[in-house]
Structure 1
Amino acid sequence: MRLYNLKNHDEEVNFETAVKLGLGQQQGLFFPVKLPVIKLKDLSEILKMDFITRSTEILSKFIYNEISKEQLYIHVKKAFSFKYPLLKSITKTISCFELFHGPTLAFKDFGARFMAQMIFSMNKNNDLVTILTATSGDTGAAVAHAFYGMKNVRVVILYPKGKISALQEKLFCTLGKNIKTISINGSFDDCQKLVKEAFNDKKLKNSIGLNSANSINISRLLAQICYYFEAFSLLPKEKRNNLVIAVPCGNFGNLTAGLLAKSLGLPIKSFIACTNSNDTVPRFLQNGQWQPKKTVSTISNAMDISQPNNWPRIQELFQRKKWNLKELRFGSVSDEVTKNTLQELFELGYVSEPHAAIAYRILKNQLKKDEFGLFLGTAHPAKFKNTVEQILNNNIVLPQELKNTINLPFLSHNMNPDFKKLKQFLIKE
């Protein structure tokens, strides 16, 4: 697999190098030189496969001969060794595709665990690897658990202090061992900026074997393509025509993966980019002006991102495929609307959480008569227990994964968004 740097097309690397580097020169994202396409006659056979076999087939379309299909199958099976996504019917024309049945109860488990398999298999010399990543909520837990206890791998996770739910925090700030966590006095964008500064410091990068597990890493992105095919395979054939998928968007990796699934040949009619009040992309799609505002805190905290990293990949894909960016649907909603939507879903017999509720609301508003809609359930509602219970006035039972963390002590450090202090931490810890 060959990939090029979106900021410097002359920098071209293979899959292994892209995974190890995370980012290219000038903090550029890597993007596939070749965009594979599944022939229509092969698509029906692929959709009949079980999840692991199909995922292996899809990933091999991108990775080619860098990893044999037999070896790739082993990695995929280890990575996806948990409950698979489920479809839950909400109305006659809308279903939720639940992606939160993994070990950290969020869709991030798919990408993080596949990346961990790739990093482990590629570290043949047992060199020190430092995974530095920023999280606005669920990435931290998924990455921490994926790499927990892994030999010669150290994970450092930055997150905005007081701006993720307490239960989200408990899932990854109580592990210890090779997992280091730092609460940053600022926003997610401040955390993300620190990660980028670290990658810009070549001496630091080389000395500690720096890598990132954000959705900027190509291995995470490719893994997420797989569950879009699973969603399509679970639908009755009569509902596959005119399928619209609404994606709650933060860093836009999830939407990028969905669009890559469409690029591969999955016949999805349309996607909807759904955001909260941090609406940089919806405003851009409306007026053509890229004008990020200061990030505001909302009850859908994983989407509190004003400068999404993956957006350049989406623009590149639309350009490469000669798709019209104006055909990408979009929408944003306030906290007040999100709360009302959670109540509406509850009255329909479904307990959701803020991120999925945003996708449902925008999907319902935009779905046409002849269309069938899916919205992605990206996290278990129990991860936002206090918020959801207060809105619904209904008790949420904690899953065992969260119960296990409640009485564990926090092991986090705290820091201002100061790169010099972060650098010292990375060198000394």
Structure 2
Amino acid sequence: MKLYNLKNHREKVNFETAVKLGLGQQQGLFFPVELPTITPFELSRILKMDFITRSTEILSKFICSEISKEELYKNVKIAFSFKKPLKISINNNISCFELFHGPTLAFKDFGARFMAQMILSLNKDNESFTILTATSGDTGAAVAHAFYGMKNIRVIILYPKGKISTLQEQLFCTLGKNIKTISINGSFDDCQKLVKKAFDDRKLKKLIGLNSANSINISRLLAQICYYFEAFSLISEKQKKNLVIAVPCGNFGNLTAGLLAKSMGLPIKSFIACTNSNDTVPRFLNTGKWDPHKTVSTISNAMDISQPNNWPRIEELFRRKQWNLKELRFGSVSDDVTKQTLKELFELKYISEPHAAIAYRLLFDQLKKDEFGLFLGTAHPSKFKNTVEKILKTKIELPEELQNRANLPLLSYNINPSFKKLKEFLLDK
């Protein structure tokens, strides 16, 4: 698999290098030179496969020039060794596709665990890596648990202090060992800027073997393509003809993966890019002007991102496929409307959480009579227990994964958004 740097098309690397580097020169994202496609006949064949076999088949289209299909299958089986996604009917033409049945109760488990297996598989020389990543909530836990206890890998996770839920924090800031967590006195965008500065420091990058596990890493993105095929396999033939998927968007990796699935030949009619009040992309799609505002805190904190990393990949995909960006549906939802939507879903006997509620709201508002809609459930409602309980006035039981960590002491460090301070931390092995 060959990939090129979106900021310098002359920089081309193979899959192994892209996984290990994370970002290219000038903080450029890697993107596939070839976009594999499948025929309708082949689609019919792979939709009949089980989730692991099908996921291996899909991923092999991208990377089997470097990894045998047998080894890839083994890695996928380990990475996705948890309960597969579930489709839950909400009403006659809308269902929730729940992606939060992994070990950290969020969709990020798919990408993070696959990336961990890829690094293990490709690291034949037992090189040492420092994985530096920023999180607005769920990425941190997924990455921490995916790499926990791995030899020669140190993980450092930055997150905005006081701007993720208490239980999100407990899930990844209580592990210790090779997992280090730093709360930053600022926003997620401040955390993301620090990560990018670290990648710009070539000497530092080489010295500590710097890598990132954000959705900027191509391995995470490719893994997420797989569950869109799973979603398609779970719906009826009639529903397949006019499928619309609403995606809660933060860094836009999830939507990028869905669009890559469509580019392969998965006949999804349309996507809805769903954001909260941090609405840089909806405003851009409406006006054509890229104008990020200061990030604001919301109850859907994983989406509190004003400068989404993966948007350049979406623009590149639309350019390459000659699609029209005007055909991408979009919208943003305020906290007040999110709260009301959670109540509406509860009346329909479904307990959701703020991120999925935003996707449901926009799907419900934009779905046409002849269409079938899926909205992605990206995190278990218990991760936002305090918020959801307060809004719905009901109790949420904690799953075992959270019960085990809820009362453990936090092991996080705290710094201001200073690259000098971060660099000192990174060099202090």
The TM-score by the shorter chain falls in which range? over 0.9
2-structure distance, mates of 1:99, 1:342: 18
Quote the residue 1:99 is aligned against.
Answer: 99
Quote the residue 1:261 is aligned against.
Answer: 261
The reply on whether 1:164 has 2:164 as its aligned counterpart is yes
Q: What secondary structure, in the 3-state scheme, does the structure 2 residue paired with 1:18 have?
A: helix
Quote the residue 1:120 is aligned against.
Answer: 120
The reply on whether 1:306 has 2:311 as its aligned counterpart is no
Offset at residue 101 of structure 1 (A):
0.2
2-structure distance, mates of 1:324, 1:406: 46
1-structure distance, mates of 2:175, 2:16: 28
Instruction: Give the number of aligned pairs.
Output: 429
Quote the residue 1:354 is aligned against.
Answer: 354
1-structure distance, mates of 2:64, 2:118: 15
Quote the residue 1:196 is aligned against.
Answer: 196
The reply on whether 1:418 has 2:409 as its aligned counterpart is no
Map of 1:179-258 to 2, 5 A cutoff?
179-258=179-258
1-structure distance, mates of 2:40, 2:127: 43
Offset at residue 103 of structure 1 (A):
0.1
2-structure distance, mates of 1:123, 1:302: 31
Quote the residue 1:58 is aligned against.
Answer: 58
Residues 144-166 of structure 1 deviation map (CA, whole Å, 9 limit, x = unaligned):
00000000000000000000000
Q: What secondary structure, in the 3-state scheme, does the structure 2 residue paired with 1:251 have?
A: coil
Tell me the amino acid that sits aligned with residue 48 of structure 1: K
Runs (4 or more) in structure 1 with deviation over 6 Å come to none
Offset at residue 41 of structure 1 (A):
1.0
1-structure distance, mates of 2:378, 2:391: 19
1-structure distance, mates of 2:102, 2:82: 6
Gaps of 5+ in 1: none
1-structure distance, mates of 2:386, 2:147: 29
Tell me the amino acid that sits aligned with residue 179 of structure 1: I
Map of 1:249-328 to 2, 5 A cutoff?
249-328=249-328
Map of 1:38-77 to 2, 5 A cutoff?
38-77=38-77
1-structure distance, mates of 2:294, 2:427: 31
2-structure distance, mates of 1:372, 1:54: 23
Quote the residue 1:369 is aligned against.
Answer: 369
Q: What secondary structure, in the 3-state scheme, does the structure 2 residue paired with 1:326 have?
A: helix
Q: What secondary structure, in the 3-state scheme, does the structure 1 residue paired with 2:398 have?
A: coil
Tell me the amino acid that sits aligned with residue 418 of structure 2: D
2-structure distance, mates of 1:21, 1:311: 19
Quote the residue 2:29 is aligned against.
Answer: 29
Quote the residue 1:392 is aligned against.
Answer: 392
Q: What secondary structure, in the 3-state scheme, does the structure 2 residue paired with 1:260 have?
A: helix
Tell me the amino acid that sits aligned with residue 166 of structure 2: A
Q: What secondary structure, in the 3-state scheme, does the structure 1 residue paired with 2:65 have?
A: helix
2-structure distance, mates of 1:320, 1:336: 38
Offset at residue 86 of structure 1 (A):
0.1
1-structure distance, mates of 2:174, 2:45: 44
Offset at residue 45 of structure 1 (A):
0.4
TM-score (norm 1): 1.00
Tell me the amino acid that sits aligned with residue 373 of structure 2: G
1-structure distance, mates of 2:386, 2:374: 26
Gaps of 5+ in 2: none
Residues 371-418 of structure 1 deviation map (CA, whole Å, 9 limit, x = unaligned):
000000000000000000000000000000000001211000000000
Tell me the amino acid that sits aligned with residue 163 of structure 1: K
2-structure distance, mates of 1:127, 1:59: 25
Offset at residue 237 of structure 1 (A):
1.4
TM-score (norm 2): 1.00
Offset at residue 64 of structure 1 (A):
2.9
Offset at residue 236 of structure 1 (A):
1.5
2-structure distance, mates of 1:333, 1:117: 36
State the identity as a percent: 82
2-structure distance, mates of 1:128, 1:416: 27
Q: What secondary structure, in the 3-state scheme, does the structure 1 residue paired with 2:91 have?
A: coil
Quote the residue 1:7 is aligned against.
Answer: 7
Q: What secondary structure, in the 3-state scheme, does the structure 2 residue paired with 1:421 have?
A: helix
Q: What secondary structure, in the 3-state scheme, does the structure 1 residue paired with 2:312 have?
A: helix
Quote the residue 2:136 is aligned against.
Answer: 136
